[in-house]
Chains A and B, each alone.
Chain A
Amino acid sequence: MTSMSSIVLAASEHADVVPVAADGVFSWMWLLVAIPAVSAAILLIGDGAGDHGPLDRFGHLLGTAAAIASFVVGVVGFVALLGQDVAERAVTQDLWTWMQVGGFDVTMSVYYDQLSALFVLLITGVGSLIHVYSIGYMAHDPRKRRFFGFLNLFIAAMLVLVLAGDYLVLFLGWEGVGLASYLLIGFWQEKRSAAVAAKKAFIVNRVGDLGLALGIMLMFAQFGTTNIHEVGLNVTNASQSVATALGLLLLLGACGKSAQVPLQSWLLDAMEGPTPVSALIHAATMVTAGVYLVVRSAAIYDLSEVARTAVVIVGCVTLLFGAWIGCAKDDIKKALAGSTMSQIGYMMLAAGLGPAGYAFAIFHLITHGFFKANMFLGAGSVMHGMNDDVDMRHYGALRKLMPLTFITFAMGYLAIIGFPGFSGFFSKDRIIESAFATNFWAGLAALLGAGVTAFYMTRVMILTFFGERRWREDVHPHESPKIMTVPLIVLAALSVVGGALTFSDWIEDWLTPVTGSEHHELGVPAWVITLIIVAVVAVGASLAYVLFARRDVPDTAPQQVSVFTRAGRADLYGDAVNEAVFMRPGQYLTRSLVYVDGTGIDGAVTGTAELVGDGARGLRRLQTGFVRTYAAEIFGGALVLVLALLAVNLA
C-alpha cells in the first residue's frame, strides 16, 4: 500500500465527534426497534394460540404495518438529523443498564448518527417493500403468520445491530439477525436440504462470531469499556499490535456474517430460504453487516495497516471468487448469491482502503441493496410463474409474458453491471478508482471483477428472458400480481436513480464525520479510468452475448466443461475443503472421544469397582462355613499375633 501518511489526521477526525444526548424526535428512536419487536412477539406467541384465528387472517398485515411504521420513524429521524448542525449529528440515548459487574458496564443505548441513519432507511425501507411483496409471494403458505413474525424479528435485530452504542449490544443484534436468518433459511424445514442449510449458516457464522466475541473481550481487557465511541477514543493510545489484533478479530466476524472468503460457504446454501428472505437478508441487509462493522470500527482500522490490508485482500479474493461462482451456476438464485458475495467483496475492498474508501463502501452497499433486492424479488417473481423452478435452463423468452418483471429486472441488471447513469455505475466506479489510487493490484482485481460481473449477469438475463422457450410442459408463465410488482417497480426506480446520492459528493460529505475522508490522486484523469471500466464491462457483456444468445442452450448442464466451470459449479470446492479439514477430522475426534470416555475414563472407575468386587469374591472363599476352616484360621491368626509380639519384644 502506498500513501498512508494521513493516518494521524484521519484518526483525529474521529475524536472530534462528541455524541449529544437525545432530545425531541431523537428520544423516540427506540421505537424503530420496539415496533417490529412487539409485532414479532405478537405474531410468534400467537402462533401457539390455535389456527385460523384473526391473527392468521391479518397477521401478515400487522407485520407489514410494523415494518412500515418503523420506516416512517426512520424517515422522521433522518429529516431531523438533516436539520441538525453537523457537530450535533451523533445522538445518543441511554435506555437501561444491560449488565454491570465491577468495571464491566454495558448500557443498552441508541446511537443514532449519519451512518446508522442511512442503514435505518435501507433496512426499514427495503424491508417494508419486501414485506409487501411477501404478502403476495407467501399468500398460500399455511404458516404465513410465522413467516411475518420472523421477518419482523429480523428487522428488529438488524436495527439493534446498527443502532447499538456498544459492541456488546451490536453483538446482540448480530446474533439476533443470525437467528432470524437461521429460522428463515429453514422456514420450509420439512425439506431436509433447508434444515441442513439453516444449521450450516448458523454454525459457520458462529465461527465468525468467535472473532467478534474475542474482539469485544480484548476491548474490555485493554480499555475497560466496550462502548463503541470510547473504544474509538482509547484505541489511539493502544499499541500497534492491539489495534491489529482488534482489526483482525473483527474482520473474522465480518467474514462470517458477510460470507467473505474463507467463511463464504453458507451463503449459496442459504438460498434454500423463501426468495423474499434471500432478497432482504441474504442480499440487501444482513450480509452487509460485516461491512458496517468495519466502517463503524474505522477508528481501529485507521491505526493498523496490517488489518486494513487483510480487509483489502479478503475483499479482492471474494469479489473474484463470487463472480467466478456466479458464472457457473444454472440456479438463478445461486447465480445471484455468487454475485452478492462478489459485490460485498467490493464493499470490503473499499472499506479496507481506509478513510479513502469507507464512504464508497457504504454508497455501494446502499445501491447494491436496491438493485440486488430488486433482482432477487424479480427472480422470485419468475419462479412464481414457473412453478418454483430455479433452473435457468428451463426458462427463456419470458420477457413478453412477464413484462413488468422483465423491465424491473433489466433496471437492476443495468445497475449492477455499471451501465453509465445507473446507480451501480457511480458506486462501483468510485470503488475501482479509489482502489487504483491506493494499490494497483486491488484496482486491477476490481476492474476484472466488473468485467466478469457483466458477463454472468448478461448470461442470467439472456437465459431467463431471451432466446427460445425451454419450459417444462406443465408450466404456464404469467406475470405476478400487483402486490408483488409494485415493490419491484419501486426498487427498479431506486436502482436507476440511487446514484444521485453521490451528486456533489453528498454521501461522502455526509459520512465524513463518521469515517473521515481522504483523497488519493490518480496518475491519470478519472474519466480515463471510467472509460476503461465501461470498456471492460462492454467486453464482458458481449462475450456473454456471443456465448449464450447466439447458441442453443442445452436443457441439462453439459458435463464436458472446462476446469474453471467445474470448479465454479462446485463453489470452488469450499465445501470439500471444509469437509476434509474440519468435518471429517471432527467426526473422527468425537467418535474417538466417545470411545475413550466409555472405556478409558469410565473404564478406570468401573474397573476399580470391579477390582474391589473381585477381591471381595476372593476373600469370600475363606468363609466356607466349616468349623475346621475357622479353627485353622483362628490358629493361624493367633500364630501371627504371637510371632509379631515376639518380634517386637526381641527387637
Chain B
Amino acid sequence: MSFPWLTVLMVVPLVGAVLVAALPRSRPELAKWTALGVSLVSLGISLAVLAQFDLDSGGFQLSEQHEWIEPLGVHYALGVDGIGLTLILMTTILVPIVIVAGWNDADGARWSVKTFFALMLALEGLVIGVFAATDVFLFYVLFEAALVPAYFLIGGYGGARRSYAALKFLMFSLAGGLLMLASVIGMWVISSSQGDPSFLLADMKDLSVGTVEGRWLFLGFFIAFAVKAPMVPLHTWLPDAASAATPGTSVLLVSVLDKLGTFGMIRFCLGLFPEASEWASPVVITLAVISILYGALLAIGQDHMMRLIAFTSVSHFGFIVLGIFALTSQSASGSTFYMFNHGLSTAALFLIAGFLIQRRGSARISDFGGVQKIAPIMAGLFLIAGLASLSLPGLSTFVGEFLVLAGTFTRSTTAAVFATLGIVLAALYILLMYQRTMTGPLREDNRGVTDMVPREIVAIAPAVVLLIGLGLFPQPILDLVNPAVSETLEHVQVGDPEPKTPSFPIAEGSSK
C-alpha cells in the first residue's frame, strides 16, 4: 500500500490542534509557535503532494479508499484532482499567513490564546478533508464538521456582536446543510435501488437519476453551496460575521470556508447532476450576475471597512459562480484560478484592514484620513491588495476574472456584458476606500497609526508575491486545473462554443 499522503495532510493539522489545545494555558507563546510550526509542516506536506501529482495523467490521484460503514456503502475515500489540490494549496498557504498576522489577536480575549490557534488548525484539517473527500457521505460529514471550529472562532474571539454573528452564520449554514442532507439521502436511496448502495463519488456519478429527481436533488446541494458561497439573496450572514470576527477568522471564513461552496458546485452539482446543472444554468447565471453587481453596489455604500470587504467578496463569488455555470473550459478554469487568488487578495485586504482598525480603534472609513503619510508601507500594500481586488491586469486575479468573462461571453453575451460592468464598480469601491483612508491631509486623530511591523510585513509579503507572480505566470496553476475542468465538462457533455467567424487561411511562415 502506498503512503497515505492525503490522510497525513488532513490529520497533521487536526493532531496539531489537539496538541496546541493540550498545552498549558499559561504559555500562550508556546501555543502560537507550535501552531505556526504545524501549519508550516502542513504547507510542506501539501507541496510534497503537489510534487507527486502527475499533470499528464489527470483524474483523481493519491487516492485512498477504505470501507467505513459497510451496510450503507459509506467509505473513507480521499483523492485529489487539480481543482481540489489547488484549493488545498490555497488553504495551506493561507493558514500560516493568518497565524502570523493574527499573532496577538487572541490576547486578552474571553477565551484562551491556545484555543484560538487550536481552532484554526482544526478548521484547516477539516477543510483539507472536504477538498479531498471522494465519498459523498464523508464530504457531507466534514463539510458540516468544519462549521464547529468556525462557529467558536467567531463567537469566542470576535468583537461586540460576535454571538449574534456566530449564531447567524451557524443557522444559515445548518439550514443549507439540512437541504444537502436530504439530497445526500435521496442519492443513497437511488443508489440502493440500483444494486449495492455506495456513497463513492465515482459510483454515484454512474447512477441513472431521473430528470425530475435529479433536479430536486441538485437543488438541495446547490442551495447549501449557495449559502456558503454566499450568493444573493443568501448572503446576509457574511457581512455580519466578517465585521464581528477577528481579521484572521474573517480570512478563514471568506477565503477558505466559503470556497467549499463554489468547490462543491463544480464537484457535486456538475459532477453528480450534469443534466440538472445545465437545466439550472440560466437561472444560476442570472443570480451570479446579480450577485456581482449587487455586492459591488453594496460595497460602495459601506462605511464599515470589514463589511465593505465582505461585500466585495459577494461580488467576487458572483464571478466564480458565473464561471462555473457558464460551462466553458475558459470560464470554469478561470473560476478555479479565481478562487485561489481571491483567497490571497481578500486575505491581504482583510488583514491589512485589520492592522489599521486595531491601531485606530475604529473600523469606520470616515474615521480615517491621510494615513499614507505616516504608514507608507501599509498604504502601499493595502493599495496592491486593493488593486488585486479590482482585478488589475498584471495581478493574478485579473487572469481568473478575464477567463471567466471571456468564457461566459462565448456562451451568453448578455451575462458577460452585465458582469463586465463590475470592473467599473470594483474600481469605485476600492479606490474610494483607499482615498478616504490613506490619502488627503493626515487627520489629527490618526496620528497614533503606526506603520506595519516586520511580523506583519512577513505575513502579507507571500500573498503579494504570489498575486504579482501568478499575474504574469499563471500557467503552472492553470496546467493543474485545466485537465480536471475539461473532465468535468466532458461529464456534463458540453463543449466550448466554436469561434463564430470562419478562420482566415493563415499563410505559411506566419508567427503561430
Contact = CB atoms under 8 A, between A and B. Distances in A.
Whether chains A and B associate is: yes
Interface of A: 15, 18-21, 44, 47-48, 92, 94, 96-104, 108-109, 165, 168, 171-172, 174-176, 179, 186, 189-192, 194-196, 198-199, 202-203, 206-207, 209-210, 213-214, 216-218, 220-225, 227, 229-230, 233-239, 242, 586, 589-591, 593-594, 597, 601-602, 605-606, 609
11 contacts: A19-B510, A97-B475, A100-B475, A104-B406, A189-B372, A190-B442, A220-B410, A221-B410, A223-B503, A238-B501, A594-B298
B289 to A, nearest CB: 15
Contacts of A190: 370, 372-373, 439-442
Interface of B: 168, 171-172, 232-233, 236, 294, 297-298, 300-302, 328-330, 333-334, 370, 372-373, 376-377, 380, 387, 392-394, 399, 402-403, 405-407, 409-410, 413, 416-417, 420-421, 423-424, 427-428, 431-432, 434-435, 438-442, 457, 472-475, 478, 482, 485-486, 496-504, 506-507, 509-512
A224 B510 contact: no
Contacts, number: 195
A95 to B, nearest CB: 10
B501 A101 contact: no
- The majority secondary structure among interface residues of chain B is helix
B380 A48 contact: yes
B504 to A, nearest CB: 4
Chain A contact residues: over half helix, strand or loop, or mixed?
helix
Given A189-B438, A227-B512, A230-B504, 8 more contacts: A15-B504, A19-B511, A48-B376, A101-B334, A101-B482, A202-B431, A214-B409, A590-B300
A108 B399 CA distance: 13
Given A96-B473, A101-B403, A227-B512, A218 B424 contact: no
B409 A217 contact: yes
Contact of A609 (B171, B413, B512): B171
B409 A101 contact: no
Nearest to A218: B409
Nearest to B300: A590
Contacts of B501: 222-223, 234-235, 237-239, 242
A244 to B, nearest CB: 14
Given A223-B501, A590-B300, A99 B475 contact: yes
B423 A213 contact: yes
Given A19-B510, A217-B405, A593-B294, A203 B440 contact: no
A606 B427 CA distance: 32
Contacts of B427: 202-203, 206
A588 to B, nearest CB: 10
A142 B486 CA distance: 54
Contact of A230 (B328, B372, B403, B506): B506
Contacts of B502: 237
A210 B406 CA distance: 13
Nearest to A232: B504
Contact of B424 (A104, A210, A216, A242): A210
A591 B297 CA distance: 9
Nearest to A41: B468
Nearest to A94: B511
A18 B508 CA distance: 9
Contacts of B498: 224
Contacts of B334: 101
Given A101-B330, A210-B424, A593-B298, A171 B393 contact: yes
B499 A103 contact: yes
A99 B424 contact: no
B405 A229 contact: no
A220 B406 CA distance: 7
Contacts of B512: 227, 230
B504 A203 contact: no
B496 A234 contact: no
